[in-house]
Amino acid sequence: MFYYFTSFLTPGTIFHYDFSEQDPTPKVFREITVEGFQAHLYETEQVFVTSKDGTKIPMFLVHRKGMKHDASHPVLMYGYGGFNIALTPSFSVSRVVFMQHLGGVFALVNLRGGGEYGEKWHKAGSLNNKQNVFDDFQAAGKYLIDKNYTASHKLVIMGGSNGGLLVTACANQAPHLFGVVVSQVGVTDMMRFHKFTIGHAWTSDFGSSDIEEEFNWLIRYSPLHTIPASGEQFPAMLLLTGDHDDRVVPLHSLKYIAELQYVRKNQPNQTNPLLIRVDTKSGHGAGKPTAKIIEELAEIYSFIAENLKIDWQE
């Protein structure tokens, strides 16, 4: 038997287990190594955050060993929270770069709506319970600030697709909590998402604005329709979409950034950039060439570093 193991700090190892042996023990068959990365300098911890309604939300934190809790570290907080999908530990070279060369902490939040604890957990973050997902994510951000991992102006949130809905909704609801927001191919128009390509299939998690009761759920958090016109400035925002995305069509990101720029343009305190990156000849993400992936990630982390005033560390 062959089996594969990976984690936040393990690029990937294939083990071989031979049942025919008298005393079988797993043996390394193939191991991936990343040049220049010393895993023993880092550690992973799991904490449980209390959400608005008292529910305990698990969160993984990956950072250098012996890190001081002095609120000086940039944190990249990632979430999804939908469609019964569980976010499990996995290795990412770009996140290693963030930790190793930008002095960052990576946080993965296992939000309600996902599949981490079964169908009950999924339903607790879907349909009329969708606000729970945003409350969970904001509670995780507050935890990181309260425990002095970071400060609000150094807290980056990132999510893609349904996770793009997550981060734009949270930016609307609590702009003071975040320093940078990165939304990748996000769903932002909750009134019309079901009218384009495969969007009709998402009504199982979101509901439909064609039904009055469900319209009332959706209009309360739809990112496109809940951008505050005044108040504190928005964090630096970078939206990303592909011009051939036929899953979450580009209109979601295009309409949101247009509305955001229009609403915030006359606010004298809005000095943080509100930008969109439209990739050509690409879609929702799957099958994207390595060169395009590297280019996109380089621009994302450059945007983060520039707006958090982070210097590259060797």
- Say if residue 101 is exposed, middle or buried (CB neighbours under 10 Å; 0-12, 13-18, 19+): middle
Encoded tokens for 131: 């606000």
- Say if residue 1 is exposed, middle or buried (CB neighbours under 10 Å; 0-12, 13-18, 19+): exposed
Q: Please answer whether residues 155 and 144 qualify as being in contact, where contact means their C-beta atoms are separated by less than 8 angstroms.
A: yes
Tokens 């990739």 -> residue: 279
Q: Please answer whether residues 11 and 30 qualify as being in contact, where contact means their C-beta atoms are separated by less than 8 angstroms.
A: no
Q: How far is CA 189 from CA 104, 159, 193, 253, 308, in A?
A: 32, 16, 6, 9, 29
Q: Please answer whether residues 113 and 81 qualify as being in contact, where contact means their C-beta atoms are separated by less than 8 angstroms.
A: yes
The residues, any chain, with a CB within 8 Å of residue 29's CB and separated by 6 or more, are 2, 14, 15, 16
- 3-class SS at 210? coil
The residues carrying an active-site annotation are 161, 245, 284
Tokens 């193991």 -> residue: 5
E strand or H helix that includes residue 208: none
